Structure 1
Amino acid sequence: MTHPIRIGLQLQPQHADYAEIRRTVAAAEEAGVDIVFNWDHFFPLYGEPDGKHFECWTMLGAWAEATSRVEIGALVTCNSYRNPELLADMARTVDHISDGRLILGIGAGWFQRDYDEYGYDFGTAGSRLADLAQALPRIKDRWAKLNPAPTRDIPILIGGGGEKKTLRYTAQYAQIWHGFGDVDTLKHKTAVLDQHCADVGRDPAEIERSVGVQASPDEVGAALLDAGATLFTVGKGGPTYDLGLLKDWIAWRDDQK
């Protein structure tokens, strides 16, 4: 299986009015982006810690109505913030609203302020990963029971680079893996993921490899492509969203065809 080159925008819902977020989603779709992600936090990660910020999943429901072509999802949902059955139902609902354009991005969670202020148990990295391992089959089981069923096999994207657990869960459950780091890191993690796939009897080519990009495609595109990545996501925060770099990546994608 060969995956097409795809370009994503992580539209970080921080420091911006919602009208600006909505306008930027429309502009990104018009520019030809393949996926628009947000993220699942309750406070800004960068800039003023108490700056403007909006919730992830209510926003995805709105994006499902406001867009017509792009796929949408969180990069990534924090597993800790919602019961797995509820999250499965939310994802199924946004899947229907969007006519089959939702990606369920999910991870174990890490931003302690979210946990502390919203009353979740932060636990340890190990306990959060154990919770994720328990949640993934529960999400799949709930999808099989819901009426109506999802419109498609909702793709699961798992974000993170933990070699013993996160990448194993990716081999077991995900269609997309989102990693972090430079080219050498990406190559190493990809090899680890491939081995986990072999261990669970899965074709590693089934898993699309995704990476965040902050440099121009002329600088890093060819090397990341050679390392196995085919989904490249530009992250942008408010109060205004400059899509110049995103458009460069879209043009690079089109030049590869």
Structure 2
Amino acid sequence: MPTSQETPVRVGVQIAPQHAEYQTLRDTVLRLEDLGVDIAFNWDHFYPLSGEPDGLHFEGWTMLAAWAEQTERIEFGPLVSCNSYRNPDLLADMARTVDHISAKGGEGRLIFGIGSGWFRRDYDEYGYEFGTAGSRLDELAEAMPRIERRWSLLNPAPTRHIPVLIGGGGERKTLRIVARHADIWHSFSDADTLRHKLGVLDQWCDTIGRDRSEITVSVEPGHADSTSELDEFHGLGARLFTVGIKAPRFDWDRVDRLLKWRDAVNG
């Protein structure tokens, strides 16, 4: 397995599925693929997170199935899917199906992002029990073995080991789940906080007997044009860098700057 220093940097872009017609969102993911972005993300919410609260919005997993069919190279997934909204075995089957749709004769391209949920309106409007932050994390911990087991039982099986991305930085529960189940840990931290959280993740990996180098560190830089920030994250071992773009004006300059930095670092 390559060390952190040997692992190339990848760029992700999250397309907010809000305030735009689907035609625009479809064209955007195709443009990202043409630009050389490594991963396209959406999110798993039912209402906009910014702007007009009742503005245009589309459901995430249905959209991912379309992306699987219309793209050729780019990886993609939810950042992140909410564990609360679907039976875990059903969610595993959905992911396996999207994985196969995207394969086109090779391996699938789905990144299975998952988290415990947080946006209360989604729960209230769609009739889900909101619970507490702790109870939702407990449910995520219970769901992950079910998801993994279902993947092992499905026929046909997934085309590959579907990479699991788990987001969040809670030290008592979230990072324990990351240590046990994640291939990618998505942090929302600044560099100083990330340094501390990595130490906590190291402890959880030691506890369960896992090599932390097996987990890719993913970050969201605050300013894609801040080379010093990008370099600091990179020095801490981050290898997946994701920025978000939103309608009505997608920030293509920000994407371009991050891609240029990636290419320079990877040589």
When normalised by structure 1's length, the TM-score is: 0.98
Out of 11-20 and 109-118, give the one that drifted further.
11-20
* 1:109-128 → structure 2 map (5 Å cutoff): 109-128=117-136
What is the number of equivalent residue pairs in this alignment?
Answer: 257
Corresponding residue of 1:37: 41
Corresponding residue of 1:72: 76
Cα deviation, 1:15-34, whole Å, max 9, x if unaligned, reads 11111101110111111100
1:129 corresponds, among 130, 137, 152, to 137
**Misfit runs of 4+, over 2 Å:** none
Displacement of 1:212 in angstroms is: 1.1
1:169 corresponds, among 157, 177, 182, to 177
* 1:135-146 → structure 2 map (5 Å cutoff): 135-146=143-154
C-alpha distance in 1, partners of 2:201/2:254? 29
| Identical-residue share of aligned pairs (%) | 61
C-alpha distance in 2, partners of 1:64/1:208? 23
Identify if the C-alpha distance between structure 1 residues 217 and 249 changes in structure 2 by more than 3 Å, giving closer, same or farther. Answer: farther
C-alpha distance in 2, partners of 1:65/1:240? 25
Identify if the C-alpha distance between structure 1 residues 104 and 56 changes in structure 2 by more than 3 Å, giving closer, same or farther. Answer: same
Matched, 1:201 2:209: yes
Corresponding residue of 2:219: 211
Displacement of 1:213 in angstroms is: 2.1
C-alpha distance in 2, partners of 1:66/1:152? 20
2:30 corresponds, among 26, 35, 38, to 26
C-alpha distance in 1, partners of 2:176/2:205? 8
C-alpha distance in 1, partners of 2:260/2:222? 16
Corresponding residue of 1:62: 66
Aligned to 1:102, what secondary structure does the other structure show? coil
C-alpha distance in 2, partners of 1:202/1:74? 25
Cα deviation, 1:59-87, whole Å, max 9, x if unaligned, reads 00000011110101000000000100000
C-alpha distance in 2, partners of 1:34/1:178? 15
Look up the equivalent residue of 1:145 and give its one-letter code.
L
Look up the equivalent residue of 1:151 and give its one-letter code.
T
1:217–1:248: 8 Å Cα contact kept in structure 2? no
List runs of 5+ in structure 1 lacking aligned partners. Answer: none
When normalised by structure 2's length, the TM-score is: 0.94
C-alpha distance in 1, partners of 2:205/2:263? 31
Look up the equivalent residue of 1:70 and give its one-letter code.
I
C-alpha distance in 1, partners of 2:220/2:51? 19
Aligned to 2:234, what secondary structure does the other structure show? helix
Look up the equivalent residue of 1:206 and give its one-letter code.
E
Aligned to 2:238, what secondary structure does the other structure show? coil
Displacement of 1:198 in angstroms is: 0.9
1:213–1:235: 8 Å Cα contact kept in structure 2? no
Aligned to 2:26, what secondary structure does the other structure show? helix
Cα deviation, 1:120-167, whole Å, max 9, x if unaligned, reads 000111110111001000000000000000000100000000001100
Cα deviation, 1:195-238, whole Å, max 9, x if unaligned, reads 11111111100000001123014241111111221100011111
Matched, 1:83 2:74: no
List runs of 5+ in structure 2 lacking aligned partners. Answer: none
Matched, 1:149 2:157: yes
Look up the equivalent residue of 2:26 and give its one-letter code.
R
Corresponding residue of 2:54: 50
C-alpha distance in 2, partners of 1:62/1:241? 20
C-alpha distance in 1, partners of 2:241/2:86? 28
1:158–1:174: 8 Å Cα contact kept in structure 2? yes
Look up the equivalent residue of 2:176 and give its one-letter code.
R
